Amino acid sequence: MNVTRILRSASTSASTSSPAPRLPRALLNLVDKSISENLTNNAKPSNLFETLSRLPDDGVGSRVHQTRWSSKGIEGCYWEISRVRLEHEGTRGKAWGRLVWRGKVINEEKEEKIRGVLKYMWATGASTGKNLKAVQPLSPKSVLEQIKERQPPSP
């Protein structure tokens, strides 16, 4: 279902009791089909590569999480993306990063390849939940900055 069809149905189904404004047909016809398809595709759950391909710089430096973590109530979990190799117009590829689980960095030494990238649905940001609270509060700093702060200064 594309956006123009949604906008048209919203504008024609607006009744007198509904406060939704009616959009003029001329505005509805101005929406390009490729833009409307792109907007509807952004709303769909997607694999990791489709999520990263919509972000600037292919998502390097961003935080992403599996949507099932939020549905299970696990809070403060995400992957911080460090490297991406996209293929097939951004639907396949490889991705590496550092895992933060419930607020704690799991793999501090080096980045690791992210598993389950095609198997699960992904979203940007950290997971939210009520069942398993984060052990540590989430930091706005990147994982690399957090690791460097913990290391003692070299002589």
Which pLDDT value is given to residue 13?
45
How far CA 49 is from CA of 65, 120, 148, in Å, comes to: 12, 11, 29
Tell me the domain boundaries of the chain.
Answer: 3-43, 48-150
How far CA 68 is from CA of 93, 108, 120, 140, 151, in Å, comes to: 21, 24, 8, 23, 33
End-to-end CA, the chain: 62
Which pLDDT value is given to residue 138?
67
Which pLDDT value is given to residue 96?
94
DSSP letter for 94, please.
Answer: E
pTM above 0.85, yes or no: no
Divide the 155 residues of the chain into consecutive groups of 10 and give the mean pLDDT of each group. 54 40 59 55 72 86 89 87 86 90 84 89 83 66 68 68
